[in-house]
Structure 1
């Protein structure tokens, strides 16, 4: 799937799941301040939804470090985080509650991005502006590749779950990135200020898949794991 990253599902009994929670702590507590460190004294960011979720990671091939993660929350006795924090004003009466899921806890290590670019520096010498801009572009490309690779994992999981509907709370930048490749999501309520400005979305996976196939058929085949004939 990627020259630089491996993407995989992490089971709850896999020791790697601790790396997921530690990365989330680093991103959500240390880097962004979205969560309070005192609420997670063991240095792991974990909540009541994790035991009802499927977890995915991005692993850097260079050093086998977990540098990205995302989760898909399935039906849980707690409902969904988005229902607690956002106003959902679309009709959901036609959706089987067991077919609802939420994509959340996307996290990518800033430290990885710094280290990746540091490998290109010349023994600490300051780079000219043109080189700095090039590095910024390379960082953004790496970020996007990680994000899209993680969402591709979720896409493939949803292919195995007929009738599933996906909740997401997204910042505008993430929404635009996904839209640019062909992932379209339907607004489900007003934008709120929660971990920054976020808007809720609720979309049937079939709709996501159909629209992706229409606007970006090659990427749709890639997401589905179908290799193009040569």
Structure 2
């Protein structure tokens, strides 16, 4: 195998290893995305399209060369039939052309697969990041909604408490007014009772005085009657 085809075969092996790295669950899409966004790959990415199309064109040229050699050595040769050594060399060159065709074909196929895998992994990592951001936003919105709801409930509770407090204050005011009225009525009753008590005492004194005067008059009458009898 010449040096060029050795390089192409090595490139094919590297492509197979890269595809296995992308396919196997070795790293998450986010890690691959961070790797793709590294400084080294960012420097390469600036001219990645040029490198890709250049490499793709070179591989296509070698593929066409392999196809040309396959067609060249696929044709029957009269000398090959007459001379066994020439026939063996002819078959060996045909085998090499076919080998080079498969190597180049698979290299072209895998380079397209790798490019597609990189795009899909980058897209998946972006979607995962967006999904995580959306989840965080949804959680923040849910937390804010719960906070607002709790604040609203607290406000409603405070309003209910303030209404209850106002009703309680109103009831307390009514009770105070009623208590004041009762105290006033009680004070009036007390004064009436004291007046009746003082009046009763006056009546008792007057009764005692009248009783005493009656006793005096009765004594006087008794004394007067006794004098008349004498």
Q: What is the TM-score of this pair, normalised by structure 2?
A: 0.20
**Structure holding more helix per residue:** 2
Q: Taking CA–CA contacts closer than 8 Å with sequence separation of 6 or more, which of the two structures ends up with the larger relative contact order?
A: 2
TM-score normalised over the length of structure 1: 0.20
Q: Which has the higher strand share?
A: 1
